[in-house]
């Protein structure tokens, strides 16, 4: 960390900053310049730079290393592989997670599960508690939905990923799902993150629509600092000035996060684009960019879907996409499952 003092900062002000830094466990390298004194602070614990910036005489504080530790690549250079039964996320295989946006009925999820399982998919997604923007939209079937989801997945030998909305739901969720998903708008629900940090089930953390990569990794850090290191990051589109697509799927976030962090990174092209015909190209792009998996919505009757039908792929479209993804994964020496 580098602390730049104001031009004309007094010795007393500088001493006070040095004193504070030493109490935080840093070694100081002082460099008195012609106009500015610069203090190099080495080795202390991670601090909030704004605590130092408010001190008298301090012009700015520059952080050299990242504010997160457990989530950083340096913590685990070989990368994290999350193993659930016989599925490994973060290894050589690119893992498809597909299914309906929402569990609407037992029959609906059974049909879709069978279709995607037929393409070799190992993880079934489905929402039982839906964070709808409007309170008048369908809110999900609740625990009943989780039961249908689990049953359909078990019948096909698949794992289950589903979104948990609040900490109080966690005990119920761990009975039915293999991966607990944190929705984009819950990325900074720190209470929820802390509770998920106490589990030993993997968490799928969606990047918030206006969250920087650093904020996303700090959210992962919250979960990890509770003891749960099995976190999967999901890029699902960010808000930009362009409103043609629902969000802008930030493909570049995939290689960036893979460099900054050891955690697996997947992409959700369904929410990222909001349009059925844009999902396949972005799915292909995400795999080519190095994503460890995809989260894709599939529905056999999307026009009558209760949620996000416009971005759901028909089963035939999904199968065609899987065939293409297998080739793209192979092109970068990986396997699509």
Q: How far is the CB of 19 from another protein (least distance, A)?
A: 6
C-beta closer to another protein: residue 52 or 232 = 52
Which residues are within 8 A (CB) of 99 and not within 5 positions of it... i.e. 6 or more apart?
Answer: 109, 112, 113, 116, 124, 125, 126, 149, 297, 298
Q: Which stretch binds another protein (CB under 8 A): 25-33, 148-156, 189-197, 230-238?
A: 25-33
Q: Which stretch binds another protein (CB under 8 A): 28-36, 106-114, 225-233, 256-264?
A: 28-36
Question: Scanning the structure block, which residue is given the tokens 């960019």?
Answer: 289
* Binding flag, residue 18, another protein (CB under 8 A): yes
* Binding flag, residue 240, another protein (CB under 8 A): no
Q: How far is the CB of 62 from another protein (least distance, A)?
A: 19
* Binding flag, residue 19, another protein (CB under 8 A): yes
The CA-atom distances, in angstroms, between 240 and each of 55, 211, 313 are 35, 11, 25
Give the tokens for residue 193: 């993150």
* Binding flag, residue 22, another protein (CB under 8 A): yes
Site string for another protein, 32-71 (x = CB under 8 A): x---------------------------------------
For another protein, which residue of 2, 4, 24, 28 counts as binding (CB under 8 A)?
28
Q: How far is the CB of 37 from another protein (least distance, A)?
A: 10
C-beta closer to another protein: residue 12 or 78 = 12
Question: Within 10 A of 138 (CB to CB), how many other CB atoms are there?
Answer: 14
* Binding flag, residue 10, another protein (CB under 8 A): no
> Which of 72, 78, 87 lies closest to 220 in space, CA to CA?
72
Q: How far is the CB of 32 from another protein (least distance, A)?
A: 6
For another protein, which residue of 31, 191, 212, 240 counts as binding (CB under 8 A)?
31
> Which of 138, 127, 225 lies closest to 177 in space, CA to CA?
127
Kindly provide the residue ranges of all beta strands, DSSP E only, lying in the chain, ordered along the sequence: 2-5, 27-32, 37-42, 58-62, 82-84, 87-89, 93-99, 123-125, 159-163, 179-182, 203-206, 231-235, 265-267, 293-297, 335-336
For another protein, which residue of 7, 30, 323, 330 counts as binding (CB under 8 A)?
30
C-beta closer to another protein: residue 31 or 212 = 31
Assess contact for 208 and 239: CB atoms under 8 A: no
The H-or-E segment that residue 117 falls in is: helix 106-117
Assess contact for 192 and 181: CB atoms under 8 A: no
* Binding flag, residue 320, another protein (CB under 8 A): no
The per-residue DSSP string of 193-240 comes to HHHHTT-SS-EEEEPPTT--HHHHHHHHHHHHHTT---EEEEE--B--
Site string for another protein, 121-160 (x = CB under 8 A): ----------------------------------------
Question: Within 10 A of 51 (CB to CB), how many other CB atoms are there?
Answer: 11
Q: Which stretch binds another protein (CB under 8 A): 18-26, 78-86, 103-111, 230-238?
A: 18-26
Interface with another protein (CB under 8 A): 11-12, 14-15, 18-19, 22, 27-32
């Amino acid at each position: 960390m580098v602390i730049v003092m104001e031009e004309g900062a007094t010795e007393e002000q500088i001493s006070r900053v040095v004193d504070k830094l030493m109490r935080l466990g840093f070694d100081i390298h002082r460099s008195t310049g012609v106009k500015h004194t610069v203090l190099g602070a080495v080795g202390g614990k991670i601090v909030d730079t704004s605590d130092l910036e408010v001190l008298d005489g301090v012009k700015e504080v520059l952080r050299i290393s990242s504010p997160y530790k457990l989530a950083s690549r340096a913590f685990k250079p070989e990368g994290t592989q999350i193993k659930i039964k016989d599925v490994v996320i973060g290894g050589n295989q690119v893992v498809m997670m597909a299914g309906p946006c929402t569990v609407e009925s037992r029959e609906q999820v059974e049909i879709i599960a069978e279709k995607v399982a037929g393409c070799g998919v190992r993880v079934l997604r489905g929402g039982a508690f839906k964070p709808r923007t409007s309170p008048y939209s369908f809110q999900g079937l609740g625990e009943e939905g989780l039961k249908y989801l689990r049953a359909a997945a078990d019948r096909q030998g698949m794992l289950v990923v589903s979104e948990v909305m609040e900490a109080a739901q966690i005990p119920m969720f761990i009975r039915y799902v293999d991966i607990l998903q944190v929705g984009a708008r819950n990325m900074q629900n720190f209470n929820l993150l802390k509770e998920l940090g106490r589990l030993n089930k993997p968490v799928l953390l969606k990047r918030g629509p206006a969250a920087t990569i650093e904020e996303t990794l700090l959210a992962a850090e919250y979960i990890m600092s509770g003891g749960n290191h099995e976190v999967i990051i999901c890029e699902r589109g960010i808000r930009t000035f362009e409103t043609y697509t629902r969000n802008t799927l930030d493909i570049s976030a995939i290689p960036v996060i893979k460099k900054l962090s050891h955690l697996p990174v997947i992409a959700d092209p369904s929410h990222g684009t909001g349009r059925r015909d844009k999902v396949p190209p972005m799915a292909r792009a995400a795999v080519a960019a190095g994503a460890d998996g995809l989260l894709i919505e599939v529905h056999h009757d999307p026009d009558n879907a209760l949620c996000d039908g416009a971005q759901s792929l028909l089963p035939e479209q999904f199968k065609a996409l899987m065939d293409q993804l297998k080739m793209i994964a192979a092109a970068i020496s990986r396997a699509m499952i």
